[in-house]
Chain A
Amino acid sequence: MTAIAEKNVTWVKPPRLNLAEQIYLPSVAQGMITTLKHLVKTVTGLNATSTQQYPEQQPVLPPHYRGVHRLNRDEQGRVKCVSCYMCSTACPAHCIDIVAAPSPWPDREKYPETFVIDELRCIYCGMCEQACPVDAIELTTIFSLTGMSREDMMFDKEKLLSVFDQTVKLGTDPVRTRGGRLSVAAEPADAGLTGSSSAQS
């Protein structure tokens, strides 16, 4: 019993070289010309390199980039989160820690007393964002985060709200999720607190 039927096998023969190919030199010359073309074009600037001079020149990231988290504020500047634990349940890395408390506001039952995300443990999958029923947690385009210690990388509620202030009020990241739908493209043009989707400059 053969594994592959004979009719299903195509036998391919390597093509025979002609004299110029057998001597190599014409092909080598051809290749050298191609190499030289690239070299000359890059040196003279005819061929624009796609290199970004990183620290001075920040990358233009798509709005759905999954970077550092933020906690969104509502129109009155309060935290949107209702402490439903959907995000921490959905989180595959178990990096979200919420302590709920009775809400001081009449429009909701609970609010997060503390809301801590371990940014070192997080795998930036964005499932918290998908799970959130009130669009309170979002991932921003901030990709370079540093800290002097592990404790520095435990982002608490104030820190996460300040990320919101930094990204939305400064216009680097619009509010992305609205009414359960993801992505800026799904939104009307005037959606979000600011309309700009440009990356941080």
Chain B
Amino acid sequence: MLFDLIPFSLLVTVFTIAVIFVGVLTAVAYLTLLERKVSAWVQDRVGPNRTGFDFGQPWLKFLRGFFGLGQPLADGVKFLLKEDVVPGYVDRVFYYLAPMIAVGTALLALAVVSVGDTPVPPVLQTLSANSSSADSPRRVFPATKSELAAMNSTTNLSDVRAGYAQYNNLSTIKFAIAPNVDIGFLFVFAIGGLAVYGIVLGGWSSNNKYSLLGSLRSSAQVISYEIPMGLSVLGVLVMVGSLNLERVVDWQARHGWLIAYQPLAFVLFLTAIFAECNRLPFDLPECEQELVGGYHTEYSSMKFALFFLGEYTHMITTSFLTAALFMGGWHLPWLNDWLSPSMTGNFDLSYLFALLIKLAVFVAKMFVVIALFMLVRWTILRFKFDQLMALAWKGLMPLGLMSLLGVVISRQFMPPGMGQWGFQCAFGLVSLVIVGVVSLLLPTEAPKTVLSISRGRSHSATSAPELASRAS
């Protein structure tokens, strides 16, 4: 029998992959429509509203319109059927590789992000007899030799096995391709950092100056935003004590959302993921106004669509990540009491209902972040190259360090709960003001070009040699 040879968990994983993959691809397609709609609404326009599902057939006229809901489908067909132009002067290997990297890394990063209430596996310490309280740091691994000895002497391994057996019970639905990866969001950032290679290689292999400028900017951007991003999530790590995304959400469900604890870190993280997703105000690698199309100038049809797909998938991933790290994941304060969390694995209707509600809450939070992406696009102008570097190195990085310092101090000296919350918020605000004041006091560079207003004499009298002599 075939089914005897294949482990059932493998089938479940393949099924999860299929569902999440199709879900994300559909979401990406409709996000492009939403993006166009939001752009139109912000600019007092109507936006795409004609493309329905009639495919131009008169007998399907009743399917026309629908607020342009057929637009993604039409776009997809267009991308598939358009001529795929490969310029003659490109570096073939990397030119073909770049879109694959872009979309592959984006989808890979999505693998560890859970989209619903995925249960947390038991921790060695909580099962062991010497776990002091629920608020103690839930470390999986002992930190000191004495702890290790204590753990070895007291932990009943059969208890742990029983816990894991219960966790692996198939009736507990896990809303992630790879649930409970212990390196959790570190994995997302590592893979997300690789996504830049798609941009860099694509721009470089195109052998086009605009593309090259785009990828140059991208590589300069990546060294600017990744450090503030890492610093901002370090605070989360210090508070929760785990990189595991499900555990972060679980911690927030019990102690309150981390956006309330660390609003400053949240803002830093948000700014950094805007840069990571190449969204305005940090869309330097692909700014149409300056670089034609940026790194994907030379790409057409499906290869361009792959870049597009990777970018939007990255947006979805980081939005889920933001929701999980700072906004409590599937948790809503009053809803959580109403829907008692069921970990027993009994597959009853109320459990399924609770799961679906939590899934909806998680997805709704993700959409809040996506909406923020889209609104910011039409609010803040694109940063200039040096402005981005200055913002990241003079603004975001000191703020990230201060935020981390505040978290560490509160974690060490303040009582958990309100004490830590108040201290972290106050410290964040104070550090924001301090960094602001310091950056105001910093000597500003004398502007190189100063607006000169000439009256009474026309510029046309100026000859080229005169200009040259003035410049020297």
Among A25-33, A61-69, A99-107, A167-175, the stretch that binds chain B is A25-33
Partner of A39, one of B38, B450, B459: B38
- Residues 35-49 of B, flagged 1 when their CB comes within 8 A of A and 0 if not, give 000101111111000
A36-B44 CB under 8 A given contacts A3-B462, A4-B454, A23-B432: no
Among B70-78, B155-163, B436-444, the stretch that binds chain A is B436-444
Q: Which residue of B lies closest to A23 (CB)?
A: B436
Among B5-13, B133-141, B340-348, B373-381, the stretch that binds chain A is B373-381
Interface flag for B456 (CB, 8 Å): yes
B466 touches A3 (CB 8 A): yes
A8-B45 CB under 8 A given contacts A3-B467, A22-B439, A35-B375: no
List chain B residues, Cβ under 8 A from A2: 470
Partner of B379, one of A3, A18, A35, A49: A35
Residues facing B in A20-65 (CB within 8 A) are 22-23, 25, 28, 31-32, 34-36, 38-39, 41-43, 47, 49-51
Interface flag for A147 (CB, 8 Å): no
Interface flag for A189 (CB, 8 Å): no
B467 touches A19 (CB 8 A): no
Interface centre among B379, B437, B439 (most CB of A within 10 A): B379
Partner of B380, one of A4, A28, A41: A28
Interface flag for B433 (CB, 8 Å): yes
A3-B470 CB under 8 A given contacts A8-B456, A19-B436, A22-B439: yes
B453 touches A22 (CB 8 A): no
Among A9-17, A128-136, A153-161, A176-184, the stretch that binds chain B is A9-17
A22 touches B457 (CB 8 A): no
B436 touches A14 (CB 8 A): no
Interface flag for B461 (CB, 8 Å): yes
Alpha-carbon distance between A35 and B455 when the two chains are bound, in angstroms: 39
Alpha-carbon distance between A28 and B372 when the two chains are bound, in angstroms: 12
Interface flag for A1 (CB, 8 Å): yes
Alpha-carbon distance between A32 and B41 when the two chains are bound, in angstroms: 14
Q: Which residue of A lies closest to B463 (CB)?
A: A3
A19 touches B380 (CB 8 A): no
List chain B residues, Cβ under 8 A from A25: 267, 432
Q: Which residue of B lies closest to A11 (CB)?
A: B450
A51 touches B45 (CB 8 A): yes
Alpha-carbon distance between A14 and B450 when the two chains are bound, in angstroms: 9
Cβ of B262 to closest chain A Cβ, rounded Å: 15
Q: Which residue of A lies closest to B462 (CB)?
A: A3
Interface flag for A5 (CB, 8 Å): yes
Alpha-carbon distance between A22 and B378 when the two chains are bound, in angstroms: 21
Query: How many residues on the B side are at the interface (Cβ–Cβ under 8 A)?
Result: 35
A5-B41 CB under 8 A given contacts A14-B447, A19-B436, A25-B267: no
Alpha-carbon distance between A47 and B44 when the two chains are bound, in angstroms: 7
List chain B residues, Cβ under 8 A from A36: 375
List chain A residues, Cβ under 8 A from B46: 49, 51
Q: Which residue of A lies closest to B467 (CB)?
A: A3
Q: Which residue of B lies closest to A5 (CB)?
A: B457
Alpha-carbon distance between A4 and B453 when the two chains are bound, in angstroms: 10
Cβ of A33 to closest chain B Cβ, rounded Å: 9
Q: Which residue of A lies closest to B281 (CB)?
A: A28
Cβ of A175 to closest chain B Cβ, rounded Å: 37
List chain B residues, Cβ under 8 A from A22: 436, 439-440
Interface flag for B451 (CB, 8 Å): yes
B470 touches A19 (CB 8 A): no
Alpha-carbon distance between A18 and B459 when the two chains are bound, in angstroms: 36
B41 touches A38 (CB 8 A): yes
A39-B454 CB under 8 A given contacts A22-B436, A22-B439, A51-B45: no
List chain B residues, Cβ under 8 A from A14: 447
- Nearest first, the 9 A-B pairs at minimum CB distance are A3-B462, A31-B379, A42-B41, A10-B453, A23-B436, A51-B46, A12-B451, A35-B379, A39-B41
The residues of A with any CB-CB pair to B shorter than 8 Å are 1-5, 8-14, 16-19, 22-23, 25, 28, 31-32, 34-36, 38-39, 41-43, 47, 49-51
Q: List 13 A-B contacts (CB under 8 A).
A: A1-B466, A8-B453, A8-B456, A16-B440, A17-B440, A19-B433, A25-B267, A39-B38, A42-B40, A42-B45, A47-B44, A49-B45, A50-B44
The residues of B with any CB-CB pair to A shorter than 8 Å are 38, 40-46, 267, 375-376, 378-380, 432-433, 436-437, 439-440, 447, 450-457, 459, 461-462, 466-467, 470
Given contacts A36-B375, A39-B38, 15 further A-B contacts (CB under 8 A): A2-B470, A3-B470, A4-B459, A4-B462, A8-B455, A9-B452, A10-B451, A19-B436, A22-B436, A32-B376, A38-B41, A38-B44, A39-B41, A42-B40, A49-B45
